[in-house]
Structure 1
Amino acid sequence: MPYTSAPTVVSSIASQSDADAFRALNEEWISRLFTLQEQDRAVLGDPFGRIVGQGGDVLLAREPGSGTVVGCVALLAYPGAVFELAKMAVAPAAQGRGIGRQLIAAAIDRAQALGGARLFLGTNSKLAAAIHLYEEAGFVRITRDRLPVTDYYARADTLMELK
């Protein structure tokens, strides 16, 4: 099914089919560019328990009309009103339409609505387009010692925080 150029609709995860789309979108890019790790499998396999149930959210970009999920982003909650922007993916056929920008803006708004005082992310230097989007949204690079977690993805060689 071809993707339209109409704006997408962003909403929170609501069903098992949403969870399946979230997992599939992320498994595709992580497996293609890196290695799917156990922490990936745990979060992607149970977004309601591992993300939503912990105070976070998963936002999905949907095609208008069909409701097909074409992108996603997660907000993982940490103590101290800290959130991580994670697991952002846009279906390859839907890339280049501003969906990533829309997801980042929606995630920032949702983190604030959830009471977030700090928003960080980890990415990889191979993902130059994603880093550019994060910088456009106001994220700046930080060092690993600024992370609120110690056991963080080895592939995350670029760490950022919203100014």
Structure 2
Amino acid sequence: MTPDLLILDYEPAHQPAFRALNHEWIAQYFAIEPIDNKMLDDPEGYILGPGGHIFMASYGGELVGTCALIKEHDGMYELAKMAVSPRAQGLGIGWALGQAILGKARQLGARQVELLSNSRLTPALKLYEKLGFRHVPVPPTPYQRTDVKMVLDL
């Protein structure tokens, strides 16, 4: 990790950046879906309150990335809402966020972390594979864009 990169615990003041970072990548490739807006507008209610966690990445003093860990049930969490601003991609920020969120999952007692993605997001899928995730069959999901599911046993 470079000295200019800090991984921060989410604070309510980060909500506009959390929303903007995710809207930026989702709108670039897909349509924003109602479930996206629910989580992005109320991360405290949808992610933090039920036992999840959010990290923000600050690079050179600017919030340029984020990643959430959503509690599904005991021992099972979902890595979600990972986003790195296009102007900050290629700096290892996604890797640092992934490492931080998996460390938090272990700290919370997770046995498995899953994620949902799309086959068009090749750089993201390569990052998830590097983090140790493996592909599994895709169940029905609330997202129309999902055609990839990956899991990591901890």
By the TM > 0.5 criterion, same fold?
Answer: yes
The residue number in structure 2 matching 1:161 is 151
- Report the CA distance between 1:6 and its aligned residue: 4.2
How far apart are residue 114 of structure 1 and its match? 1.4
Within 1, Cα distance between the matches of 2:15 and 2:54? 9
Q: 1:80: how far off?
A: 2.3
Residue 7 of structure 1: how far off its partner (Å): 4.2
Counterpart in the other structure of 1:48: 44
- Measure, in 2, the Cα distance between the counterparts of 1:153 and 1:84: 14
Show the counterpart of 1:135. Answer: 129
Q: Does 1:63 find its partner at 2:59?
A: yes
The residue correspondences of 1:1-150 to structure 2 (distance < 5 A) are 6-16=3-13, 18-64=14-60, 66=61, 68-145=62-139, 150=140
- Runs (5+) with no aligned partner, structure 1: none
Distance in 1 (alpha carbons) for counterparts of 2:129 and 2:38:
28
Letter in 2 for 1:49: G
Runs (4+) of structure 1 moved beyond 2 Å?
A: none
For 1:76, what is the secondary structure of its paired residue? strand
The percentage of aligned residue pairs carrying the same residue is: 38
Q: Structure 2: how far apart are the matches of 1:79 and 1:162?
A: 15
* Bigger strand share: 2
SS class of match (1:155) = coil
The count of residues paired between Structure 1 and Structure 2 equals 152
